[in-house]
């Protein structure tokens, strides 16, 4: 049985985190994400979890990494400038291979930018914000319900693949209040990190020979029994530093492949009215809602247009977009920035498709009319 | 009875990678001896470090260990303590890590009075990166980024910790390892934020630039520059100029500890 609630995007992220088993939240106030810590400061103690408002964004991200190491499902949230500050901790979670959920309620930038206004200009930051070769998972929900379900999925993927996962929402979704039919908790699939079954003496957190590409990681209950070492340095199977060329190379590649070899499990996308379409719009996040309206209106005018919408934006849906490039003559890429995912679309379609764009970085949503005008122009 | 160090060290990771004569080993030994005297189980001990020479200590001890990022041991240690309030959580990092890049985290961890034991290996220099000056490099002395002598005034870690709200503050030195061990032991047993400023010798990166390249000479210098709290009480401000005061410098058993405060908050939330 589901229950209907009036909630905004920030509250839905928070409630979904609790439903997913998150029991540690650390953050720092920043617009437009502040309702997440506000909500969780009330809720975490109720469910016996930990809430801490730290002295800064760096500390709050590092704390979430520390809690994950200690066996807790953890989350931190912020917006643009705060996410910039959290990058070193996100890289540490990549290297230590610790589950972590990071919410970026995207606002205009660069720098302080437009604190209260919408943007999708952090999608490339999500992919490449922290230094070094790494892979990342990021999801971009379009609706309030999807904000809830994608948050659950973000936690599941973080635990399953021992990796940081971004939830990319934006100022619109964060403050949009709506009636949402929340799934019944018993219907949710909640994934926990695999637990070691070997004795503590035989356990190493990166022993891929023994455990496969994603070794088990003690949860909060097992953590006190299993002593192990972790470091941000390139590590060997025991978690200790190494500069052995072959070992480093194998580990760097494994850390990327543990995600890329499981793309089929991680990917999520929607084809909207694509069956008979001869023009495709590429859109994601809340901007897809505008594209959806434009497509519906264009179809009323007799234009056969559809949409491809990635929900998992990282890893990028290379296979699907490459196929679109081969199938269609024209594609419209729209995003609330000056062209970021556009680079990915161009990269994977390899010049097979004529690409038009509806891009805008002005702190306001792209209106359906803007997308409709472009649809009419190219069809 | 002599301490069996193999109980506390990951023997297969030895030898230590520190320079011969480095004070890090002395401070680590003081900490291990203190733990041994307290009779703690290694399963109950969590050790967190930042980045730097001393921060590599986490690799050698057979506790729960995490070698985090530069300056960030305290946010991680705070989180782990909140998750496992029953564990003994220790941080072990250098002066640059703890008071420069980690300075903000340091004062706020002190303010919260969370039950951590913070051991700062205070050797006046960034050793690993090549002898750059830290907030603890004595004014006037040379560093690789202060070739003409340091113009920066220093922090007094003890005063900083006390002012920020830590409830146990002590300073010891590698020149008197027994007292250092005793301060660490009291700090470990203290319920609340305890800070131990452990003056230590980096004869390579600080010493060589300042005519103290010999570790014995540098430890002698530390001895000359330090004075016990008891003796300091009878000295004039002029006599105390440039001296480091040793001893338990602040102790407050009344201030509420943070995990206790949080536990009460949880009880309140659950009984609403």
Domain ranges of chain B: 8-270
| Secondary structure (3-state) at A334 | strand
Same-domain status, A273 and A259? no
Which tens digit of pLDDT belongs to each residue from A52-78?
A: 999 999 999 999 999 999 999 999 999
State chain A's maximal CA–CA distance in angstroms.
Answer: 69
Report the mean per-residue pLDDT for chain B. 97
Mean pLDDT of the region A119-138? 98
| Secondary structure (3-state) at A351 | coil
Output the pLDDT for position A1. 43
Mean pLDDT of the region B174-183? 98
* Disruptive mutation site among B79, B110, B270 for chain A (greatest number of A CBs within 10 Å): B79
Could you tell me what percent of chain B has a pLDDT over 90? 99
Contact B245, B171 (CB under 8 A): yes
Identify which of A70, A225, A229 has the shortest CB distance to residue B83.
Answer: A70
**Beta carbons of A62 and B75 less than 8 Å apart:** yes
Range of the domain at A64: 3-187
- Please indicate, yes or no, if residue A36 is contained in any of the structural domains: yes
Same-domain status, A64 and A98? yes
Which tens digit of pLDDT belongs to each residue from A321-355?
A: 999 999 999 999 999 999 999 999 999 999 999 99
Structure tokens, B5: 């160090």
CA closest to A93 among chain B residues? B68
- Please indicate, yes or no, if residue A192 is contained in any of the structural domains: no
- Please indicate, yes or no, if residue A233 is contained in any of the structural domains: yes
Q: Give residue B88's pLDDT band: very low, low, confident or very high (50, 70, 90).
A: very high
Distances (CA, A) of A317 to A94, A202, A301, B27: 21, 39, 30, 53
Position B1 pLDDT exceeds 70: no
Identify which of A52, A225, A230 has the shortest CB distance to residue B66.
Answer: A230
Structure tokens, A333: 């890429």
Which tens digit of pLDDT belongs to each residue from B109-129?
A: 999 999 999 999 999 999 999
Q: Give residue A4's pLDDT band: very low, low, confident or very high (50, 70, 90).
A: confident
Q: At what angle do helices B258-270 and B73-83 cross, to 10 degrees?
A: 40
Could you tell me what percent of chain B has a pLDDT over 70? 100
Same-domain status, A181 and A222? no
Identify which of B64, B266, B268 has the shortest CB distance to residue A227.
Answer: B64
Q: Minimal Cα–Cα distance from B246 to chain A, Å?
A: 30
Same-domain status, A285 and A247? no
Q: Distance between CA A145 and CA A12 in Å, rounded?
A: 8
Residue A330 belongs to what H/E stretch? Answer: strand A330-335
Q: Minimal Cα–Cα distance from A89 to chain B, Å?
A: 8
Position A3 pLDDT exceeds 80: no
Mean pLDDT of the region A293-306? 98
Same-domain status, A220 and A342? no
Mean pLDDT of the region A10-20? 98
Tell me how many domains chain A contains.
3
Same-domain status, A98 and A117? yes
Q: Distance between CA B141 and CA B150 in Å, rounded?
A: 5
Identify the CATH number of the domain defined by range B8-270.
3.40.50.970
The CA-CA-CA angle for residues A371, A297, A181, to 5°, reads: 95
Position A90 pLDDT exceeds 80: yes
Q: Distance between CA B172 and CA B182 in Å, rounded?
A: 9
Q: Which of A159, A187, A215 is the last residue of a domain?
A: A187
Same-domain status, A204 and A75? no
Q: Which of A263, A285, A310 is the last residue of a domain?
A: A263
Distances (CA, A) of B54 to A365, B127, B200: 51, 9, 10
Same-domain status, A215 and A306? no
Same-domain status, A335 and A221? no
Mean pLDDT of the region B244-251? 98
* Disruptive mutation site among A199, A229, A242 for chain B (greatest number of B CBs within 10 Å): A229
**Beta carbons of B108 and A52 less than 8 Å apart:** no
Output the pLDDT for position B2. 83
Q: Minimal Cα–Cα distance from B61 to chain A, Å?
A: 9
- Please indicate, yes or no, if residue A194 is contained in any of the structural domains: no
Same-domain status, A60 and A180? yes
**Beta carbons of A66 and B68 less than 8 Å apart:** yes
CATH of the domain at A142: 3.40.50.970
Output the pLDDT for position A2. 62
Identify which of B59, B66, B269 has the shortest CB distance to residue A45.
Answer: B269
Same-domain status, A283 and A369? yes
Report the mean per-residue pLDDT for chain A. 97
Mean pLDDT of the region A303-326? 98
Mean pLDDT of the region B37-45? 98
What is the pTM for the complete model shown?
Answer: 0.97
Output the pLDDT for position A368. 98
Output the pLDDT for position B272. 87
Q: Minimal Cα–Cα distance from A218 to chain B, Å?
A: 12
């Amino acid at each position: 049985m589901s229950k209907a609630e009036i909630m905004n995007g920030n509250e839905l992220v928070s409630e979904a985190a609790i439903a997913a088993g998150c029991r540690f939240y650390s953050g720092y106030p920043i617009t437009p994400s502040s309702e997440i810590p506000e909500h969780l400061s009330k809720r975490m103690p109720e469910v016996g979890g930990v809430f801490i408002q730290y002295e800064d964004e760096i500390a709050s991200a590092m704390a979430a990494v520390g809690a994950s190491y200690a066996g807790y499902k953890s989350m931190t949230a912020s917006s643009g400038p705060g996410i910039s500050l959290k990058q070193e901790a996100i890289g540490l979670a990549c290297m230590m291979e610790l589950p972590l959920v990071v919410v970026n309620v995207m606002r205009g930038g660069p720098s302080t930018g437009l604190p209260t206004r919408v943007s999708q200009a952090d999608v490339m930051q999500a992919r490449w914000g922290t230094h070094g070769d790494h892979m990342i998972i990021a999801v971009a929900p379009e609706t309030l319900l999807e904000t809830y379900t994608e948050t659950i999925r973000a936690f599941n993927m973080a635990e399953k693949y021992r990796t940081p996962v971004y939830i990319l929402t934006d100022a619109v979704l964060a403050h949009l209040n709506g009636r949402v039919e929340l799934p019944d908790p018993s219907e949710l699939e909640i994934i926990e990190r695999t637990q070691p079954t070997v004795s503590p003496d035989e356990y190493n957190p990166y022993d891929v020979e023994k455990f496969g590409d994603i070794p088990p990681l003690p949860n909060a209950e097992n953590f006190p029994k299993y002593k192990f070492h972790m470091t941000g340095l390139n590590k060997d199977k025991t978690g200790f530093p190494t500069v052995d060329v072959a070992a480093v190379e194998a580990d760097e590649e494994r850390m990327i492949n543990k995600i890329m070899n499981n793309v089929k499990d991680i990917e999520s996308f929607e084809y909207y009215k694509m069956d008979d379409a001869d023009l495709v719009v590429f859109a994601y996040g809340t901007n897809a809602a505008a594209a959806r309206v434009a497509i519906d209106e264009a179809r009323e005018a007799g234009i056969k247009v559809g949409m491809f919408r990635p929900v998992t934006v990282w890893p990028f849906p290379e296979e699907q977009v490459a196929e679109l490039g081969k199938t269609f003559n024209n594609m419209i890429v729209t995003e609330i920035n000056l062209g970021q995912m556009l680079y990915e679309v161009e990269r994977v379609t390899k010049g097979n498709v004529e690409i038009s764009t509806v891009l805008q970085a002005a702190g306001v949503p792209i209106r359906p009319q803007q997308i409709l005008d472009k649809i009419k122009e190219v069809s | 009875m002599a301490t069996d160090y193999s109980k506390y060290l990951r023997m297969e990771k030895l030898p230590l990678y520190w320079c011969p004569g480095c004070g890090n080993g002395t401070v680590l030994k003081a900490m291990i001896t203190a733990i041994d005297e307290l009779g703690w189980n290694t399963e109950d001990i969590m050790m967190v470090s930042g980045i730097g020479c001393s921060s590599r200590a986490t690799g050698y001890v057979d506790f729960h260990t995490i070698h985090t990022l530069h300056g960030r041991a305290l946010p991680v240690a705070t989180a782990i303590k909140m998750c496992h309030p029953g564990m003994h959580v220790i941080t072990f990092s250098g002066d640059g890590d703890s008071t420069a890049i980690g300075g903000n985290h340091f004062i706020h961890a002190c303010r919260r009075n969370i039950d951590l034991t913070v051991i700062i290996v205070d050797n006046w220099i960034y050793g690993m990166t090549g002898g750059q000056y830290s907030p603890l490099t004595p004014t006037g002395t040379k560093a690789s980024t202060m070739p003409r002598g340091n113009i920066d005034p220093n922090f007094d870690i003890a005063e900083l910790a006390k002012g920020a709200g830590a409830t146990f503050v002590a300073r010891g030195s590698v020149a008197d390892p027994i007292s250092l061990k005793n301060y660490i032991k009291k700090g470990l047993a203290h319920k609340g934020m305890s800070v131990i400023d452990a003056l230590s010798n980096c004869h390579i990166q600080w010493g060589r630039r300042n005519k103290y390249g010999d570790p014995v000479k540098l430890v002698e210098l530390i001895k000359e520059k330090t004075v016990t709290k008891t003796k300091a009480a009878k000295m004039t401000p002029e006599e105390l100029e440039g001296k480091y005061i040793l001893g338990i410098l602040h102790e407050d058993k009344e201030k509420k500890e943070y995990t206790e405060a949080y536990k009460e908050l949880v009880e309140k939330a659950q009984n609403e």
